[in-house]
Amino acid sequence: MRETRFIFVEGIMGSGKSTTAQFLTDQLRRNGFAARFMLEGPTVDNPNHPLRVATDLPHPNAVWRDVTIAEYIARSLRKWHSFAREAEQSATITVCDGLLFHGNMTDLLLMNAEPPVLRRYVARVLESIRDLDPTVIYFSHADLGRALRAVCDARGSAWEAYQVGWKVPSPYGAQRSLGGFDGLVRIYRAYCALCDDLFARLALPKLAIRNEGDWAAYYRDILTFLQLPPAPPAAPPTK
């Protein structure tokens, strides 16, 4: 297998990150490796996420009310350094649903952090886990608006209202007078442009996948990239 103890699976919400990360965790275990799957955010069973800053703040969906951009970055990097110290003592491979781009960096974008600040932040995160030999798998979409419309339709109007309701009124959205679903699309267009740039700059093993729905091919490509044996046929990720 490719030498790595930390695998990021990145993409927008609904891109298949979680299902792909779980699939990879299962394949690693099937091939005799110790592996753990880490969700992007907290769960009811595990409300204190080891790497997310928002879960520690009074307003997790409006972190700009609680801390400055500099304070948020400092908190995030402390979490990454603490995680790295522990992970370096173990052979376990962590497979992440987001957490390099989608997660803390998304919060920083919504806080209206400038692109150079975000680029430096991502570089410092990767530096903190350098000894874990991180790799990145990145899903993108040819038509972002259609992809977001599809995931909102699949997850329902309440989920769409929730996403619009906390992301669009953010400092990023307010400064640009964004509103409604179109505002959410504009935020994610800026986010994806930033992610495309960050991904292109990464000097580490990485795999880009243009998501058009051929999950059997994507899983084959991912396993080849990680130098793992082919897997039995699997169901495609659900939205």
160 within some domain: no
**pLDDT at residue 192 is higher than 70:** yes
pLDDT at 231 (0 to 100): 73
- pLDDT above 80 for 226: yes
pLDDT exceeds cutoff 70 at 191: yes
Domain range enclosing 102: 6-142+205-225
Is there a domain that residue 196 lies in? no
- Is the pLDDT at 238 greater than 70? The verdict is no
> Percentage of residues in the chain with pLDDT exceeding 90?
87
Is 102 within a domain? yes
pLDDT of residue 40: 86
User: How many independent structural domains does the chain possess?
Assistant: 1
Instruction: Examine residue 137 and state whether it is found in any structural domain, yes or no.
Output: yes
pTM (two decimals): 0.92
The predicted structure's pLDDT at residue 213: 85
Residue 25 sits in a domain whose CATH number is 3.40.50.300
CA 80 to chain centre: 14
- What integer is the mean pLDDT of 54-73? 96
pLDDT range class, residue 234, cuts 50, 70, 90: low
| Residue 232: per-residue pLDDT | 65
Tell me what pLDDT residue 43 has.
62
Q: Please determine, for residue 46, whether its predicted confidence score (pLDDT) is greater than 90.
A: no
30 occurs within a structural domain? yes
Average pLDDT, whole number, for the chain? 93
**Is residue 178 a part of any domain in this protein?**
no
Any domain includes 74: yes
Q: Check residue 4 and give its pLDDT.
A: 97
| Assigned domain for 151 exists | no
